[in-house]
Structure 1
Amino acid sequence: MPRSFDEILDQAAVPDTVTDADLDALKQEIVRDVTATLMFGARPAPEGRYPTTLDRAEAALTALCAELIHSTDAAEHLARIADLPIDADGALHFGCLLNLAQEPDGALWWWQFAAGAGNATAAYCLYLYHLFHGELRDADHWAHEALSLDTDIHLTSPAPCRRRKLDSPPEVLREAIERLKVDEVAGAQFHHPDHRLADQIEELADAC
């Protein structure tokens, strides 16, 4: 009995090995890339060929944090936040130091505090952080927040210096952060700054 055309095609087809989870992951990746294109005007390039939008956000955040920690008034800001834990500029700089020490929860806590106190550069740090992690809704929120707070935002150069990505922070920086008092707030670690950080800032900055 002659087989139908559909039966022939069914038998010739390659078995479907793609699971529903694979399709969901692919859809999420497509949505993320399209959203990035619409919101930020650049489609992430293939990994391993050119820096993606997310990679550039990470490089810009690292460069900005390092630049602020190397600034001549970094010690003053860190000393001030140790004395007065409501100082927005001190919170910004302390957040940058925690970010370089690969303590993202602490960095986010202090940047959110600084942004809430009106620091536009802290809001910009939050924008870069969320953009790097592909959290585009949060990134968009903090981008608008930064611009609404102030148009004079501390930015890195258009092509931030490419720093060697370390698997772990330098030992001197890790030790400086580990000795700090830490509380847990809503499941996230909250580091308390002290004056020793201000005294060590040149050594810590050189290590980053």
Structure 2
Amino acid sequence: MGSQRPRTIEEALARARIFAGTYTPADLESSQQRIAEQLLELRWMQAITSPAMVSGGRSAWAPLMLHERAAHDLRALCQGVIHDDDAARRLAHFDDARDPGGALAFACLLMLADHEEGAQFWLQFAAGGGQATGALCLYLLHLRRGEWRDAQHWARQMASLEHEPCQYSPVAHEVVETTSEAGGVTVFIDLPDDQVVVPEASVKDALEDLDVQLIEELGAIPQPSPGLAHQLEDLVTAGR
């Protein structure tokens, strides 16, 4: 049997009271740290979801919620990556050289085909190899899932990676720091309004027979086929 419900307000308050000596200074410090982290996260979320200013000083909220915007931007970004003139060449050399730029192109194909776990693995590979656009995709992916702290991590990675030498940037983007209190960033992606898209059903067909490699502790990871670069060229050419 559980404890009986309190019969009076005084009894309820007595049960809720925190008595002196219950917590150590270390407990209090840890609690304060958690509260501070949560406040920083809330401020960061407020910064990246704040309304855009329009003429006359009025504000207008974007028509989509944050996670919906992130999902839309992620698909558009992946389309921009696979349409880059250098994407197929990098993908062709990926099987031999494991080029991070090729990993980025492959991951974007996987994302468009709804192979999300495999896409995340290769995006992390690309970002680990210095590709800021890979970190940008991961930023949007975690925003779409509502994983704010992971999104913030990849946003900061992106900000540090975009100035690396030999950076492959198939889609232009800009990282803008918000206030130091918020501790976050805002990202602007430069995609043309008339961007031609490859039908995602066609991407799924092209990736239908991919080999899958079982990697210890990582699970089943899809691998690019030798002819995938030619298929990518055909998909992009057909869409133009």
Tell me if both proteins adopt one fold, taking TM over 0.5 as the criterion. yes
Q: Aligned residue for 1:21?
A: none
Shift of 1:82: 1.9
Determine if contact 1:181/1:191 at 8 Å carries over to the other structure: yes
TM-score, normalized by length of structure 2?
Answer: 0.60
TM-score, normalized by length of structure 1?
Answer: 0.69
Q: Aligned residue for 1:116?
A: 128
Is 2:230 the partner of 1:199?
yes
Q: Aligned residue for 1:97?
A: 109
More helix by share: 1
Q: Aligned residue for 2:29?
A: none
Pairing 1:169-188 to 2, within 5 Å after superposition: 169-170=200-201, 172-185=202-215, 186=217, 188=219
Shift of 1:79: 0.2
Shift of 1:135: 0.6
Unaligned runs of 5+ in 2: 1-38, 52-61, 174-188
Pairing 1:79-90 to 2, within 5 Å after superposition: 79-85=92-98, 87-90=99-102
Q: Which structure ranks higher in relative contact order (CA pairs < 8 Å, sequence separation ≥ 6)?
A: 1
Q: Aligned residue for 1:73?
A: 86
Shift of 1:160: 6.3
Q: CA RMSD in A?
A: 3.0
Q: Which amino acid aligns with 2:67?
A: L
Shift of 1:58: 1.2
Is 2:220 the partner of 1:189?
yes
Q: Return structure 1 stretches of 4+ with deviation > 4 angstroms.
A: 33-36, 158-164
Q: Which amino acid aligns with 1:127?
A: Y
Provide Cα deviations, 1:105-159, integer angstroms capped at 9, x if missing partner: 1110001011111111101110011011111010000000110112576333278
SS at match of 1:195: coil
Pairing 1:159-174 to 2, within 5 Å after superposition: 169-170=200-201, 172-174=202-204
Equivalent residue pairs, number: 167
More strand by share: 2
